[in-house]
């Protein structure tokens, strides 16, 4: 039988025990509360201050100092300077009302702040612990206030509370716009953009430190610090004095030609590179337009540039709008379009833009023929003003013909027909093979951010036909960058050694120790010493020869060699050109190379290499004596006056640097050829030139000074007989563009007309 359990009752005794337990717990809480009240009354302010201090310093980032960038002479191009932001901790300051007035008065007197504004902020934000009063002040601006916070100083005031200083670094460029394309700049978060700042960002950056705070057993604040590691510095190959000279003459060119044929800069772009041909060291690199590295987003720097749209494409010109940024439309640029125009300003034209090289490619055509054994250099070709190739009559720039032309004279007078004959003898396989050997279509791997890729902008052997071979022989149909051209050209005139171009020579630790020395690096040999010597002989004549197209490049007191280039841009409108000069100095013993490109000069008739040769002459007239090369040519009275004026106004009177042993600079001398056939050809050519100067019988256009061909209406250069507004190609269908597209993407650059 199941038993039923009786339910227990809550007895009186149990109730009494529960009441006693409740009273005991209540008394304990009352005691604890009383104790907390007493602690807060006696030591509350002290504990509160300690807690606030712990909050302020518990975990604090210590910034690193970004490494410096200097030129080869130690001139600082980029440096990071420590700055201080003034931080107000309203909660800490309001913890002691007696500290408010002294602190507010000190802030107002030292930093020019309004007392009423400060008190209003404290009233409105009593719990704020981080409010920036002033940003990025140099130490001298905060020094007096810090003394007022420091015990033991004459101005110490213990009632100044709730203010501390946050340290950081700002990037400063002491020389403003100098070498802006090379140096680049940093963003607000200390990351490099463009140039060396971007390419060497990891090297220049250090490691942030950390400061930790904690309370010891006596409730005193203690700190543990892990120091920041500063970044390494860069010593560049750039010579600040040469860089200054180059930038001065790019600016002068712009000043002379801006707003010429249309509103805008003196040209779409102007670039200049100076290189040591025996090391690959870049001594100077600059382009125009430029910008101040300390004020990269100054919108006024955009005025005069070709406008681009929100996708970075050039805005097409119209009859009423030439497509350039002016003072009237600059403020209409917003959002993505503004950013794209800034990008166009910031990029380095010398490494980022590509174009068809024009006739500066002709020494490479001849070098290919010589090195492959396809020609000897003693050949003589007949130029009648054009050569029929495939379906086209491809014209020489001198449509009246140069007559008999030796290989040497072909370079001197820049004869297209001569180059086409050389290329035909060389053949497609050798021609395309040597283009790769010279680095066309490949990156140079220069240590700068933003180098253009040109893969697909040169022809492969299977895509090159007879017409493409002919036009490529004089620099049409493939694209290059400036750094590609000057690096390859340096190998042509230094014995055939292709050096990797570089801008940094040394990486230095914060303590001054050398971390890495960047030595010259030979990548390959492009041509033999014999071929190199012949190219120098031929290019000497471009400046020194009686028919040379580059005579106006010769600096006062020196003989140099080189090659001019004139290339018509795409679309082939027969009015837009890229003109250039690539040269070396001294003539007989080259030590440096210089390359100047003027992209669509702002003039009515653009196809004149003198826009480039004039800059070369001006630059080298100052650079040659600066580098210690002895003069090789007698000075005319005009040149003496020019040099005297330069001496008075020179901005390069800083210590003179030597470019090695001065005995390496050669004495004067002009190459005249050494083979019988060459001499004979030169003699015949001189006769032919006189006979072919038929253009001098034409009428002169009074507005331009050019002769007018009565049969075609073309304008003719009075010095060379060049057609300045005609096409080099004509065919059955009258087309001039079918041979201009390079393999793959097509050449986006220039040139129906080359010289």
SS (H, E, C) 599-650: EEECCCCCCCCHHHHHHHHHHHHHHHHHCCCCCCCCCCHHHHHHHHHHHHHC
The owner of tokens 């009686």 is 546
Q: Are residues 305 and 188 in contact, defined by beta-carbon separation less than 8 angstroms? A: no
The answer to whether the bond into 586 is cis (omega within 30° of 0) is yes
The DSSP annotation for 452-498 comes to: PP-TTSS--GGG--HHHHHHHTTT-S--B-HHHHHHHHHHHHTTSEE
Task: Enumerate the domain spans of the chain.
Answer: 82-150+160-171
From the list 181, 161, 14, the residue with the least C-alpha distance to 90 is 161
Kindly report each contact of residues 156-160 with a partner whose C-beta sits within 8 Å and lies 24 or more positions away, as own/partner.
Answer: 157/102, 157/106, 159/96, 159/98, 159/99, 159/102, 159/103, 160/99, 160/102, 160/103, 160/106
**Taking the CA of residue 423 as centre, how many other CA atoms within 13 Å lie in the half-sphere pointing to its CB?**
32
Place of tokens 């003179």: 656
Q: How far apart are CA 453 and CA 593, in angstroms?
A: 23
CB distance 587 to 580 below 8 Å = no
**Three-state secondary structure call for residue 681:** helix
DSSP annotation of 102? H
Q: Which helix (H) or strand (E) holds 78?
A: strand 76-88
Give the model confidence (pLDDT) of 210-234 as tens digits: 877 665 656 565 668 888 899 999 9
Copy the structure tokens of residue 138: 């140099």
Number of Cα atoms under 13 Å in the Cβ half of residue 503: 28
Nearest CA among 436, 434, 532, 439 for reference residue 483? 439
β-strand pairing of 76-88 with 163-172: antiparallel
- Phi first, then psi, for residue 272 (nearest 5°) are -145, 135
Classified as helix, coil or strand, 145 is helix
591-620 average pLDDT score: 95
pLDDT of residue 647: 81
CA 398 to chain centre: 37
Total Cβ atoms within 10 A of residue 251: 17
SS3 state at 391: coil
**3-state DSSP call for residue 537?**
helix
Helices and strands in the chain: count of H runs, count of E runs? 21, 27
pLDDT score for 677: 32
pLDDT score of 743 more than 60: no
Q: Quote the pLDDT of residue 183.
A: 97
CA distance 361 to 431: 12
- Once rounded to an integer, what is the mean pLDDT over residues 364-377? 97
Per DSSP, the three-state class of 209 is: strand
Number of neighbours of residue 10 by Cβ within 10 angstroms? 8
- 32 versus 627: which is more confidently predicted? 627
Residue pLDDT, tens place only, 403-439: 999 999 999 999 999 999 999 999 999 999 999 999 9
Q: What is the pTM of this model?
A: 0.81
Predicted confidence at residue 217, as pLDDT, reads 59
Separation between Cα atoms, residue 52 and residue 65, nearest integer Å: 29
Q: Do the Cβ atoms of 212 and 59 come closer than 8 Å?
A: yes
Question: For residues 678 and 672, what is the distance between their CA atoms, to the nearest angstrom?
Answer: 9
What are the tokens at 181? 């394309």
* pLDDT confidence of residue 154: 87
- Judged by average pLDDT, the poorest of 190-204, 233-247, 385-399 is 385-399
List the beta bridge partners of residue 134: 86
Percent of the chain with pLDDT over 70: 82
Mean pLDDT of 331-339: 94
Identify whether the C-beta of residue 432 lies closer than 8 Å to the C-beta of residue 697.
Answer: no
Exposed, middle or buried, 734 (CB in 10 Å: 0-12/13-18/19+)?
Answer: exposed
- C-beta contacts of 140-144 below 8 A and 24+ residues apart: 141/84, 141/111, 142/84, 142/86, 142/110, 144/110
pLDDT-based confidence at 12, cuts 50/70/90? confident
Give the integer Cα–Cα distance in Å for 152 and 694. 94
Q: Report which of residues 708 and 712 the model is more confident about.
A: 708
Q: Which residue has the tokens 């002989």?
A: 537
Residue 753 has pLDDT above 60, yes or no: no
Residue 726 in tokens = 């005609």
Structural fold of domain 82-150+160-171:
Penicillin-binding protein 2a (Domain 2) (3.90.1310)
The CA-based angle 312-318-319, given to 5 degrees, is 160
- Model confidence at 740, pLDDT cuts 50, 70, 90, reads very low
Distance CA 444, CA 452 (A): 10
Give the pLDDT of residue 339: 95
Of 205, 338, 274, residue with least CA distance to 622:
274
* More reliable by pLDDT, 48 or 173: 173
What pLDDT sits at residue 679? 31
Percentage of the chain beyond pLDDT 90 is 63
With beta carbons less than 8 A apart as the criterion, state whether 173 and 78 touch: yes
Q: What pLDDT, in 10s, does the model give residues 651-707?
A: 444 443 333 333 333 333 333 333 333 333 333 333 333 335 666 667 777 766 777
**Mean model confidence pLDDT for the chain:** 85
Structure confidence at residue 748 as a pLDDT band (50, 70, 90)? very low
Is the separation of the CB atoms in 315 and 530 below 8 Å? Answer: no
Q: What pLDDT is stored for residue 688 in this prediction?
A: 34
Q: Which residues lie closer than 8 Å to 707 by C-beta, 6 or more apart?
A: 695, 696, 698, 699, 700, 701, 715, 716, 718
Over residues 597-607, the mean pLDDT reads 93
Closest CA to 471 of 389, 575, 541, 381: 389
pLDDT per residue over 541-569, tens digit each?
Answer: 999 999 999 999 999 999 999 999 998 88
More reliable by pLDDT, 610 or 317: 610
């Amino acid at each position: 039988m199941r038993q039923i359990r009786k339910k227990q009752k809550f007895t009186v005794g149990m109730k009494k025990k529960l009441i006693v337990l409740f009273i005991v717990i209540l008394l304990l809480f009352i005691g604890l509360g009383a104790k907390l009240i007493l602690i807060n009354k006696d030591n509350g302010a002290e504990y509160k201050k300690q807690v606030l201090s712990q909050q302020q310093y518990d975990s604090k980032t210590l910034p690193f100092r970004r490494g410096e960038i200097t030129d080869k002479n130690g001139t600082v191009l980029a440096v990071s300077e420590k700055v201080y932001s003034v931080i107000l901790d309203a909660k800490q300051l309001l913890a002691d009302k007696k500290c408010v007035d002294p602190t507010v008065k000190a802030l107002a007197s030292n930093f020019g702040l309004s007392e009423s504004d400060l008190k209003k902020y404290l009233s409105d934000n009593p719990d704020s612990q981080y409010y920036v009063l002033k940003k990025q002040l140099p130490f001298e601006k905060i020094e007096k206030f810090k003394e007022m916070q420091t015990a033991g100083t004459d101005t110490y005031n213990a009632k100044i509370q709730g203010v501390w200083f946050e340290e950081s670094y700002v990037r400063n460029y002491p020389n403003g716009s100098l070498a802006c394309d090379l140096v680049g700049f940093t963003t607000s978060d200390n990351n490099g953009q463009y140039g060396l700042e971007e390419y060497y960002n990891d090297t220049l950056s250090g490691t942030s430190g950390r400061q930790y705070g904690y309370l010891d057993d006596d409730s005193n604040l203690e700190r543990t610090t892990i120091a920041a590691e500063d970044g390494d510095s860069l010593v560049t190959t750039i010579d600040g004095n040469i860089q200054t000279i180059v930038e001065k003459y790019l600016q002068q060119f712009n000043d002379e030609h801006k707003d010429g044929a249309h509103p805008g800069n003196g040209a779409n772009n102007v670039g200049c590179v100076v290189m040591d041909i025996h090391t690959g060291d870049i001594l100077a690199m600059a382009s125009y337009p430029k910008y101040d590295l300390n004020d990269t987003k100054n919108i006024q720097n955009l005025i005069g540039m070709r406008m681009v749209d929100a996708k970075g494409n050039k805005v097409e010109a119209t009859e009423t709008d030439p497509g350039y940024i002016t003072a009237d439309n600059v403020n209409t640029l917003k959002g993505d379009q503004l950013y794209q125009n800034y990008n166009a300003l910031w990029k380095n034209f010398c490494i980022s833009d590509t174009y068809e090289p024009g006739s500066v490619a002709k020494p490479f055509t001849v070098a290919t023929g010589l090195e492959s054994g396809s020609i000897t250099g003693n050949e003589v070709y007949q130029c009648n003003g054009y050569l029929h190739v495939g379906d086209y009559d491809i014209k020489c720039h001198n449509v009246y013909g140069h007559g008999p032309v030796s290989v040497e004279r072909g370079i001197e007078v820049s004869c297209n027909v001569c180059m086409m004959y050389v290329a035909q003898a060389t053949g497609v396989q050798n021609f395309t093979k040597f283009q790769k050997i010279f680095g066309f279509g490949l990156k140079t791997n220069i240590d700068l951010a933003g180098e253009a890729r040109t893969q697909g902008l040169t022809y492969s052997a299977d895509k090159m036909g007879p017409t493409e071979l002919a036009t490529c022989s004089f620099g049409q149909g493939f694209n290059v960058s400036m750094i590609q051209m000057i690096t390859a050209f340096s190998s042509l005139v230094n014995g055939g050694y292709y050096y990797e171009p570089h801008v940094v020579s040394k990486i230095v630790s914060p303590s001054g120790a050398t971390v890495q020395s960047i030595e010259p690096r030979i990548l390959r040999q492009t041509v033999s010493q014999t071929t190199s010597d012949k190219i120098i002989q031929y290019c000497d004549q471009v400046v020194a020869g009686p028919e040379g197209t580059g005579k106006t490049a010769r600096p006062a007191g020196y003989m140099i060699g080189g090659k001019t280039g004139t290339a018509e841009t795409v679309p082939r409108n027969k009015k837009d050109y890229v003109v250039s000069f690539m040269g070396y100095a001294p003539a007989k013993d080259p030590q440096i190379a210089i390359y100047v490109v003027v992209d669509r000069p702002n003039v009515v008739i653009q196809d004149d290499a003198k826009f480039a040769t004039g800059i070369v002459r001006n630059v080298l007239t100052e650079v040659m004596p600066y580098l210690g090369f002895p003069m090789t040519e007698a000075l005319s009275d005009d040149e003496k006056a020019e040099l005297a004026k330069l001496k008075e106004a020179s901005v390069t009177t800083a210590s003179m640097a030597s470019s090695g042993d001065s005995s390496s600079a050669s004495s004067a001398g002009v190459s005249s050829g050494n083979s019988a056939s060459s001499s004979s050809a030169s003699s015949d050519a001189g006769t032919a030139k006189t006979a072919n100067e038929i253009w001098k019988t034409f009428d002169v256009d009074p507005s331009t000074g050019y002769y007018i061909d009565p049969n075609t209406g073309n304008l003719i250069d009075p010095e060379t007989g060049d057609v300045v507004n005609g096409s080099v190609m004509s065919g059955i269908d009258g087309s001039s563009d079918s041979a201009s597209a390079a393999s793959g993407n097509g050449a986006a650059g220039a040139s129906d007309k080359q010289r």
